[in-house]
Amino acid sequence: MSSFANLKRNRSDFAKLSKAVEATTQTAESGSKDDTRFWQPEVDKAGNGMAVIRFLPAPQVDGDDALPWVRVFSHGFQGPGGWFIDNCLTTLNEKCPVCEHNNTLWNSGIEANKDIARKQKRKLSYVANILVISDPSNTQNEGQIRLFKFGKKIFDKITEAMNPEFADETPVNPFDLWEGANFKLKIRNVEGYRNYDKSEFADKSALFDGDDDKLEDLWKKEFSLKEFGERKQFKSYEQLKTRLNKVLGFDGAPATIKSNAADSVSSIKESDTSILDNVSTDDDDLDYFKSLAESN
């Protein structure tokens, strides 16, 4: 368990956090709509919405070495045998049967197989603690600490704030209580998907005007993030493989992948391009898949 004094003393030195951001972006389902700890912005009938939030530092209960976010890969797609919606074992740096199957499809050299692999590829999401500053659609959320699940596009905004592109821009630690910045979440409907390109960080500002007593009280009320990366949140390789075969209609036997040149199973080389290098950047993909599955 970390101390508030350490949090304040180390706030201006976020080199370690910057390295963690870099490592996260180089190695490229948490949360449920029924989990009241989570907050998500609402949009109007046109698919537009806006809210202001503040990303919070790593919670006290997770210790001094904890990061203020946790990253989770997952899969969500429908096959002949139903829906496959599960966390991906690559989150734990373990082999995932879905990713292995997608790699086989991708390396077959057949465009139709590549299209299937794209639809089945892993989705990337993050979970962090936030303070809801402004929520016009649900004002009762304002001033509340919530967990927020978001995708790569928003994480890229965090990365850009910490590592600005131009020399005249000052790096900002968005998770800092004293010298961080509020995040203006702006949502648009672009081609049927939520788009966050207009979202941006405001100028640096201290929460609660830098009142340490209020800040410490806020910090101590944050939710632990450790559970989202624990092994119990992930099914075993064998369980996922069994489910995958059922969803794809394989009846326990993997399907053969035809090559362009002949009707034999294609030969896959280790040097071939991996679909793992491609991660979905649609922030709300998995929630969309879940809603479809629940409606059937």
Query: Mean pLDDT throughout 39-44?
Result: 94
Percentage of the chain exceeding pLDDT 70: 76
What does the pLDDT look like over 160-171, one tens digit per residue? Answer: 999 999 999 999
**CA dist., res. 255 & res. 120, Å (int):** 15
Higher pLDDT, 260 or 168: 168
- 172 burial class (0-12, 13-18, 19+ CB within 10 angstroms)? buried
Q: How confident is the model at residue 10 (pLDDT cuts 50, 70, 90)?
A: confident
Question: For residue 84, what are the domain limits?
Answer: 4-295
Q: Is 13 helix (H, G, I), strand (E, B) or coil?
A: coil
- Ranking 3-12, 66-75, 172-181, 221-230 by mean pLDDT, the lowest is 3-12
Q: Which of 188-202, 218-232, 252-266, 276-290 has the lowest mean pLDDT?
A: 252-266
Q: Is the dihedral of CA 130, 132, 136, 139 positive or negative?
A: positive
Using a pLDDT cut of 90, give the percent of the chain over it.
69
Q: What is the mean pLDDT of residues 266-279?
A: 46
| Residue among 29, 26, 47, 46 nearest 38 (CA) | 29
Q: How many helices (H) and strands (E) does the chain have?
A: 8, 9
Q: What sign does the dihedral 291-87-34-60 (CA atoms) show?
A: negative
CA distances in angstroms from 131 to 7, 57, 95, 140, 199, listed in the order given: 17, 11, 36, 13, 17
Give pLDDT, residue 130.
98
Pick the residue with more confidence: 271 or 34? Answer: 34
Q: Is the dihedral of CA 41, 235, 277, 288 positive or negative?
A: negative
The pLDDT of residue 8: 80
> What is the tens place of the pLDDT at every residue in 122-158?
999 999 999 999 999 999 999 999 999 999 999 999 9
Mean pLDDT, to the nearest integer, of 264-284? 46
Rounded to the nearest 10 degrees, the angle between the axes of helix 15-26 and helix 152-162 is 140
Residue closest to 200 by CA, chosen among 211, 212, 187, 209: 187
For residue 148, report the phi and psi dihedrals to the nearest 5 degrees. -130, 125
pLDDT in the model for residue 14: 66
Confidence band, pLDDT 50/70/90 cuts, at residue 267: very low
Number of domains in the chain: 1
* pLDDT at site 33: 58
d(CA 173, CA 206): 12
Beta strand 200-204 pairing with 181-190:
antiparallel
Torsion over CA: 109, 115, 119, 125 (sign): positive
Task: Tell me which residue of 281, 251, 272, 296 sits closest to 102, measured CA to CA.
Answer: 272
Residue 149 CB contacts under 8 Å (≥ 6 apart), including other chains: 30, 31, 38, 40, 125, 126, 127
124 close to 99: Cβ distance less than 8 angstroms: no
Note whether 48 and 189 are within 8 A (CB).
Answer: yes
Q: Residue holding tokens 């099914």?
A: 235
Where do runs of H (alpha helix) occur along the chain?
A: 4-9, 15-26, 97-106, 111-120, 152-162, 212-220, 237-247, 285-295
- Residue 277: the pLDDT is 56
Q: What is the pLDDT of residue 153?
A: 95
pLDDT at residue 100 is higher than 50 = yes
CATH assignment at residue 132: 3.90.198.10
Tell me the pLDDT of the chain averaged across its residues: 84
**Which residues are CB-neighbours of 287 under 8 A, at least 6 positions away?**
33
